[in-house]
A and B are shown apart, each in its own frame.
Chain A
Amino acid sequence: MASIELRDVRKSYGAVDVIKGVDLDIKHGEFCVFVGPSGCGKSTLLRMISGLEDITGGEIAIGGDVVNTVPAADRGLAMVFQSYALYPHMTVRQNLSFGLENINTPKAEIAEKITSVAKMLQIDMLLDRRPKDLSGGQRQRVAIGRAVVREPKVFLFDEPLSNLDAELRVDMRGEIASLHRRLGNTMIYVTHDQVEAMTMADKIAVLKLGEVEQFGAPLELYNTPRNLFVAGFIGSPKMNFLAGRIEDGDRGELVLPSGERVLIPEDGYDQRPGQEVTLGIRPTEMQPAADGPVSIEVKSVEQLGGESYIYGTTRDGTPLTVHSPGQTRVRIGETIALGVPPGQIHLFDTQSGLSLLGS
């Protein structure tokens, strides 16, 4: 069993706290993605799990055993690095066999494992080349192969696709996901790209400034974000936010600074009259409607053929994005009214940023 538990894991460099008490519970066989903006500590957290980085406080347990003092090599993990970190002076075959040689695997067995892994990753014709003669995608495969060949309990990926071009990234994304299905190992994957996170993960941990903002299944994060940060980070294009104030007498109405009033559901959210509240709504849920409560001035329009994006600002200057299926007739400079379906909104306390979703 290769579950991973983090309990109040901390890391500080001198007086600077980089990881501020992370609790996570990753079950055996799960594909867990750490996602967050750069500098949020996601790579550091991964390196702490791998053992390459010491931890300042807390506990890391792999398969139930606390591994705080176990050196990286003995944790039974394999890591794929952002820069691939292939050994440049060795051929692909030597790159793959290096780890096996270090644990004194018999030669015949090494050859056998390399052959099967190389075939699986389609790098069998590259075995005698050196890393500098490979393309980015091929290097990536070799780096993954080097991890796979050692048959580790857990795979760690540190932004493995960030050096690839967009098209290749989509391909490799699919391959890593299918690798996970085939091997069934626990995998932890670090990325700053929420699309990667959404498409690959069983569980996503959204990190910000060394803290886990929310940990859960992709759609759980999408549908019920716990705070403004998660709401804004998950989903593309970004969720629209409208800051306003709940009407004193009526919990069902939000007044925007421009004076526009938006109907909100009275049930399900814990809003109080007079509270400063931020309303979140995904661009896909807002539609032009003649009697809509919010009007925007269109600043730019992106026609993608099958779908269109309308970018505009409200009367008080808040930027809004509207996704419209198919092609749109809206022109730049027009003012359009938008409908806000009450069933599709998210409410957050403006001050704390927390969701007002009732328990």
Chain B
Amino acid sequence: MGKIVEFMTRTRGGGKMDWTDWLTYCYLVLGILLMFGPVIWLVLSSFKTEADLQRFPPRFLPYAQETVMVDGYEDPLPLFQITAGEYEGRTLAQLRRVGLVAQMIDPADPETRLRVDISNREPLEHLSLAVENYTGLFERFNFLRFLWNSTFITVMATVIMLLVNSMAAFALSKYKFRGRMTVLAIVIGTLMIPQTVVLVPLFLITQQLGMLNSLWGVIIPGAATPTGVFLLRQYMITIPDEILDAARMDKASEWKIFWRIILPLSAPAIAVLAILAIMWRWNDFLWPLIVLSQTENFTLQLALNSFQGELNTEWSSLLAMTVLTLLPIALVFMFLQKYIATGIASTGGK
């Protein structure tokens, strides 16, 4: 803890705050606000009730109005503090509101109806997390089904993509064959074609292969990515050929060289690509939207979209699900981020 404080209050010269320190801290705080602000807002909002979400002006923390059960009424009644007028200082429960006047009762004396001007009352509120937003996801929607679909697509697509891309990259970086540069140029060239251009042909092919409305229809068309091939190739080029030669002298088959030498040595690059692939697949929206039309095949992203109706958007569920959708990606990033920075493997050579 002391270390964190020391780190957070570090200055340029180690002593008093310099003007550059002020500048730096301002800049960093601004960055934090810009980057974390929306996320924190999202998380807090996901714990607000539907009524609280509709409220204007919005409030930072989630509040819920206090309610009371009164004999003779089935639903709990909201409690208000009366701030002015005849009943000032009393806590009353509201029955209904008509125009500018509210019909209220005293919970202690439910028989007498009191008429209160609505400008004279303040709702009694307390901090409260609307957990029902989350539990509702499991009760009212098939959340686990969507989660499974998303997870299955992400994991399978990432594994297949890493395998295909690393094999292609190995061939393109370590074997000399005619047309090697041409193949590489074609692979990289596909980067210049926007996804939207090939969307319709891709759809037609997927349809012909009978993969519409199947998770594989989402997984397979994205299995090979030029970015992945290029990234891994550039990394594998840096693995010394002598190590491969040594393995060949050690009677290792080419497959074994790939599996036991190249893959472990490319781990940092593969980790980076894996993180990217997981993020791409998990957040992918357009292609699943096209391929998957039945609700039971929906991914989380598609399910999120379906909360947004033409006339009515169920914000509380939408926000809660957004948080749950964000979580896995955040976790993946937290656990794999060190690989992004680790970079170069030591090369056994000098």
A positions within 8 Å CB-CB of B: 47, 50, 52, 71-74, 77-79, 81-89, 98-99, 102-103, 131-132, 136, 139, 146, 150, 163
- Is the Cβ of A98 less than 8 Å from the Cβ of B247? yes
- Is the Cβ of B252 less than 8 Å from the Cβ of A87? no
- Is the Cβ of B349 less than 8 Å from the Cβ of A73? no
CA–CA, A219 to B253, complex, Å? Answer: 43
Quick one: given A83-B240, A83-B242, are A88 and B348 in contact (CB under 8 Å)?
yes
- Is the Cβ of A132 less than 8 Å from the Cβ of B243? no
Quick one: given A89-B345, A131-B348, are A52 and B248 in contact (CB under 8 Å)?
yes
- Asked if B350 CB lies within 8 Å of chain A CBs, one says yes
Instruction: Given A79-B246, A98-B260, output 11 extra A-B contacts at Cβ < 8 Å.
Output: A47-B245, A83-B240, A83-B242, A84-B349, A85-B243, A85-B246, A87-B247, A88-B347, A102-B250, A103-B251, A131-B346
The contact of B350 among A77, A87, A163, by CB within 8 Å, is A163
What is the CB-to-nearest-CB distance from B293 to chain A, in angstroms, rounded to a whole number? 46
- Is the Cβ of B242 less than 8 Å from the Cβ of A72? no
Residues on B with beta carbons closer than 8 Å to the beta carbon of A77: 249
The contact of B243 among A52, A87, A163, by CB within 8 Å, is A87
B positions within 8 Å CB-CB of A: 240, 242-243, 245-253, 256, 260-261, 264-265, 267, 345-350
Quick one: given A81-B242, A82-B242, A83-B240, are A99 and B345 in contact (CB under 8 Å)?
no
CA–CA, A74 to B253, complex, Å? Answer: 11
The contact of B250 among A82, A136, A146, A163, by CB within 8 Å, is A146
**Complex: chain B residue closest to A47, CB-CB:** B245
CA–CA, A72 to B247, complex, Å? Answer: 10
- Is the Cβ of A50 less than 8 Å from the Cβ of B349? no
The contact of B248 among A72, A88, A131, by CB within 8 Å, is A72
Residues on B with beta carbons closer than 8 Å to the beta carbon of A50: 249
CA–CA, A295 to B87, complex, Å? Answer: 129
CA–CA, A52 to B267, complex, Å? Answer: 26
Residues on A with beta carbons closer than 8 Å to the beta carbon of B348: 83-88, 131-132, 139
- Is the Cβ of A102 less than 8 Å from the Cβ of B248? no
- Is the Cβ of B242 less than 8 Å from the Cβ of A85? yes
Quick one: given A87-B348, A102-B256, A131-B348, are A73 and B248 in contact (CB under 8 Å)?
yes
Residues on B with beta carbons closer than 8 Å to the beta carbon of A131: 346, 348
What is the CB-to-nearest-CB distance from A150 to chain B, in angstroms, rounded to a whole number? 7
- Is the Cβ of B249 less than 8 Å from the Cβ of A73? yes
Residues on A with beta carbons closer than 8 Å to the beta carbon of B248: 52, 71-73
**Complex: chain A residue closest to B242, CB-CB:** A85
- Is the Cβ of B249 less than 8 Å from the Cβ of A72? yes
Quick one: given A87-B348, A88-B348, are A81 and B250 in contact (CB under 8 Å)?
no
A-B contact pairs, 7 of them (CB 8 A): A52-B249, A81-B242, A98-B247, A99-B250, A99-B252, A131-B348, A139-B348
Most buried by B among A72, A77, A88, A150: A88
- Is the Cβ of A85 less than 8 Å from the Cβ of B251? no
Most buried by B among A50, A52, A77: A52
What is the CB-to-nearest-CB distance from A172 to chain B, in angstroms, rounded to a whole number? 15
CA–CA, A103 to B253, complex, Å? Answer: 11
- Is the Cβ of B252 less than 8 Å from the Cβ of A102? yes
CA–CA, A50 to B249, complex, Å? Answer: 8
The contact of B249 among A79, A87, A103, by CB within 8 Å, is A79
Quick one: given A81-B245, A98-B247, are A88 and B346 in contact (CB under 8 Å)?
yes
What is the CB-to-nearest-CB distance from B267 to chain A, in angstroms, rounded to a whole number? 8
**Complex: chain A residue closest to B261, CB-CB:** A87
CA–CA, A47 to B246, complex, Å? Answer: 11
- Is the Cβ of B349 less than 8 Å from the Cβ of A83? yes
CA–CA, A50 to B345, complex, Å? Answer: 28
Residues on A with beta carbons closer than 8 Å to the beta carbon of B242: 81-83, 85
**Complex: chain B residue closest to A100, CB-CB:** B250
Residues on B with beta carbons closer than 8 Å to the beta carbon of A136: 350
- Is the Cβ of A89 less than 8 Å from the Cβ of B265? yes
CA–CA, A71 to B249, complex, Å? Answer: 9
CA–CA, A298 to B209, complex, Å? Answer: 88
* 5 smallest beta-carbon distances between A and B, as pairs: A99-B250, A88-B348, A83-B349, A85-B242, A85-B246
- Is the Cβ of A99 less than 8 Å from the Cβ of B251? yes
- Is the Cβ of B349 less than 8 Å from the Cβ of A85? yes
- Is the Cβ of A52 less than 8 Å from the Cβ of B261? no
Residues on B with beta carbons closer than 8 Å to the beta carbon of A139: 348
CA–CA, A83 to B260, complex, Å? Answer: 20
CA–CA, A82 to B346, complex, Å? Answer: 17
CA–CA, A73 to B244, complex, Å? Answer: 12
The contact of B246 among A81, A132, A163, by CB within 8 Å, is A81
CA–CA, A98 to B248, complex, Å? Answer: 11
Residues on B with beta carbons closer than 8 Å to the beta carbon of A88: 243, 265, 345-348
- Is the Cβ of A79 less than 8 Å from the Cβ of B243? no
Residues on A with beta carbons closer than 8 Å to the beta carbon of B245: 47, 52, 72, 79, 81, 85
What is the CB-to-nearest-CB distance from A226 to chain B, in angstroms, rounded to a whole number? 33
**Complex: chain B residue closest to A72, CB-CB:** B248
**Complex: chain A residue closest to B260, CB-CB:** A98
**Complex: chain A residue closest to B252, CB-CB:** A102
- Is the Cβ of A98 less than 8 Å from the Cβ of B249? no
Residues on B with beta carbons closer than 8 Å to the beta carbon of A103: 251
Residues on A with beta carbons closer than 8 Å to the beta carbon of B250: 73, 98-99, 102, 146, 150
- Is the Cβ of B252 less than 8 Å from the Cβ of A98? yes
CA–CA, A157 to B23, complex, Å? Answer: 60
Quick one: given A89-B264, A102-B256, are A83 and B247 in contact (CB under 8 Å)?
no
CA–CA, A50 to B253, complex, Å? Answer: 16
